[in-house]
Structure 1
Amino acid sequence: MWRRAPPAANLPPSDELVLRLRVQAQRLSAATGRSATPPVVLREICGLQAQLMSAAGLGLRVRSAGLNAGTVRHALNQDRSIVRTWLMRGTLHLVAADDLGWLLSLLGPIFASGSEARHAQLGLDRDLKLRGVDTIRRTLKDTGPLTRYELVDQLQRRGIRLDPKSQAPIHLIRFAALQGVLCLGPDRENREPTYVLIDDWIGQPSSPSGEPSLGELARRYFAAYGPATAEDLASWSGLPLSQARSAVALAMPALAELTIRGQSGFLLKGRLPRSRPPAPANPAVRLLPAFDTYLLGYRNRELTIPRPPLRRRLQRGGGWLHPAVIVNGRAVGAWRLAGAGPRQELRIEPFEKLSRAVQAGIEAEARDISRFLDFPLETKIAEPA
């Protein structure tokens, strides 16, 4: 167990203050100073989930003024200052390139070993995986970027025989990524992703391991998500709870402790005001994309989505987390893009009656999404359901 951090304040913070601090830490507040490049944003929030690259791009938009989809693509494919690969929770994430080494050295072995049972079901024994990773390395060195289909075809030609209709190929590719061999590269014209060698794409990343990385992960997490708990850190990262608690202990010199609904929570020292700040003059309205890390970053979402029926509307099974409208840190609705071509609509599905100020905030966010995507959008707000 950790040594106790200094208390952040004499009184436990209210739910509203916890949410306000989280919104500020996540760069979702107007007071955050939101203008920044993609790698700066990703470094501050320690990555964005990115199985949908379009959603990750919108996650960068909502956290920084002035970015557009072209800026994000340039950072990913030309500057290569941001990278997409499997990291937290073993899922695809977008991170700053200079964070890749230490994150992989810490998390890669955990998720590679955690998939062994599934690998066995797919016929991926240790020998096949090791031969497969070596063949992937040599293949990509020879060919440069390849799509999944092209890479599997090359593996077959070089003696690594996998059923292309099964999940074995993607599990082998993911295993190679967790070993630090490959990451996702530039998309083809049809938006199909390719795979590249990390060493060829961004150079060999520095990769300190062990306690420094574990403590840094906790410090980064509480900087981006605090106030939060060790259980939240475990849920967000995919670390076992015992290891998450060890991470908190290592980061403790940088943390202050407080109580969140009866639980021990943490945030960076100096983040909690000593007196109750006044309520904001205007509501902070943000349109979060699917799988946004503000919602994924905590084990318990009761503060953000207070009522179970609303949670079910945003979390509709299959691991899918829908785009959300948040006001001062709380979800008040869902949203989606509908239509195709030049007549797309941004449709808002409120959970409650929205004030004029909130509707104005939604309109402002919709205009910014239109600017980011570089096509016109018509906003439609439905009646609460």
Structure 2
Amino acid sequence: MTARPRIDDQQRRARLATRHLLAPAHRADSPEQVVEALVALHATDPATVFLSTTARLASPEPAELDRALYQDRTLLRMHGMRHTLFVVPAELAPALYASTTRKVAEKERRGLLAFAAEGGFDADWLAEVQRRTLAALATAGQATGSQLGNLVPELRESITVAVGKPYEARQAVGVRLLRVLGMENEIVRGRPVGGWTSGQHRWEVRAPLPDVPQAEAQAELVRRWLTAFGPATTEDIRWWTGWGVREVRAAVAGCAAVAVDLDCGPGHALPDDLAPLPEPAPWAALLPSLDPTPMGWQQRDWYLPAAHRAELVDRSGNIGPTVWWNGRVVGGWAQHPDGHLRWEALEPLPGEAAAAIDAEADRLTGWLGGTRVTPRFRTPLERRLGS
């Protein structure tokens, strides 16, 4: 019996350095190259998109990401894996929608209908409000949710949810409807109101996506993910996609992945990705909260020591700002109120590591200028360093 290929943790870290564009020699020239390399950038916190991109660009400019998102539309914000908002390459949108978002959107649509019924509004009423909303948005070109509420007053209707419970609240129809229309790809988030850290976006009508069979779309998404994040375990793929185990197994087979042995157990890799990569030169990186690299795998011991997690991960599992040295998380960082970055190592580091990390902190401080960034999901070390 032929032994399965083995890819150890050191090789996984070498792949991470080059394929995630973190080693300086491998940095990208454009935001599109960054997102293509990583498949998707977490966009729940708007600042993450810019900071994740900046860490991987040779010459980062905020205007370039703005161009890609809002002028050329080569990058697109949309809901994807695990009900989360991402920025993805525009050409990936059909496969992402068919593989993942459509199922979530169908569930959200059922929830929206039930929500409307609680307020005494039937499906016909909701359909008419939706029709008028899309027509108003097409005429306006772009509008915030508040502006759409002025154009279609029914969007401002509010309904009480969780009646009698401690978290009872009133929610506007417009908030729920716009979220569902975004998931259904009827509308898309456009330019934000304010600067690049703003979470309030204008909405725009979106052209329909080409239809892709679900199985084909899932195989394509896993193929792209293994190109960027492989080798990986079944549990890693299942966690990242949010799919069931049967869907993951079918997608792994559909992209012709092969079985490999990892230091943590059995895994998968693409058949043309079995040869070892050369070790990159020593490198350091400062990655933001929710960056796709530290959030990329469920099994993280090979790059994130368990002893560091209490300081770097919040109670919901969100990873805060991280400091990297040669493919491992070795500490965290935060922006001080005076604008400078402060970092702290969680383990002893050689002098060359501290010097390289200081250089990255100075690089990011200079890029931020006077902009103040506070992560939406704060972790213990970030809170301490940022005060």
Question: What TM-score do you get using the length of structure 1 for normalisation?
Answer: 0.82
Mapped partners of 2:172, 2:4: distance in 1: 48
Mapped partners of 1:99, 1:196: distance in 2: 19
* 1:325 pairs with one of 323, 326, 331: 323
Q: 1:263 to 1:154 in 2, by over 3 A?
A: farther
Mapped partners of 2:303, 2:238: distance in 1: 18
Displacement of 1:142? 1.9
Mapped partners of 1:265, 1:73: distance in 2: 37
SS of 1:293's equivalent in the other structure is coil
Displacement of 1:47? 1.0
Q: Which residue of 2 aligns with 1:219?
A: 223
Mapped partners of 1:258, 1:55: distance in 2: 33
2:63 counterpart of 1:70: yes
Q: Which residue of 2 aligns with 1:233?
A: 237
Letter of the 2:17 counterpart:
V
SS of 1:332's equivalent in the other structure is strand
1:231·1:244 contact (CA, 8 Å) conserved in 2?
Answer: no
Q: Map 1:80-159 to 2 at 5 A.
A: 80-115=73-108, 119=112, 122-123=115-116, 127=123, 130-155=127-152, 157-158=153-154
Mapped partners of 1:117, 1:146: distance in 2: 25
**Gapped runs of 5+ residues in structure 2?**
160-168, 373-383
Identity %: 24
2:210 counterpart of 1:206: yes
Q: Which residue of 2 aligns with 1:348?
A: 343
Letter of the 1:22 counterpart:
L
Letter of the 2:358 counterpart:
E
2:20 counterpart of 1:34: no
**Gapped runs of 5+ residues in structure 1?**
1-5
Mapped partners of 2:39, 2:117: distance in 1: 31
Q: 1:120 to 1:197 in 2, by over 3 A?
A: closer
Mapped partners of 2:299, 2:142: distance in 1: 40
* 1:193 pairs with one of 201, 213, 237: 201
SS of 2:157's equivalent in the other structure is coil
Displacement of 1:216? 0.5
Mapped partners of 2:252, 2:67: distance in 1: 36
Q: Which residue of 2 aligns with 1:265?
A: 267
2:283·2:356 contact (CA, 8 Å) conserved in 1?
Answer: yes
2:154·2:173 contact (CA, 8 Å) conserved in 1?
Answer: no
Q: 1:245 to 1:162 in 2, by over 3 A?
A: farther
Letter of the 2:275 counterpart:
P
SS of 2:361's equivalent in the other structure is helix
Q: Which residue of 1 aligns with 2:16?
A: 22
1:86·1:174 contact (CA, 8 Å) conserved in 2?
Answer: no
Mapped partners of 2:114, 2:330: distance in 1: 42
1:7·1:258 contact (CA, 8 Å) conserved in 2?
Answer: no
> How much is the aligned-residue C-alpha RMSD, in angstroms?
3.0
How many residues align structurally? Answer: 358
Q: Which residue of 2 aligns with 1:172?
A: 177
Mapped partners of 2:215, 2:55: distance in 1: 33
Q: Which residue of 1 aligns with 2:354?
A: 359
Letter of the 2:367 counterpart:
F
Q: 1:368 to 1:236 in 2, by over 3 A?
A: same
* 1:162 pairs with one of 158, 161, 164: 158
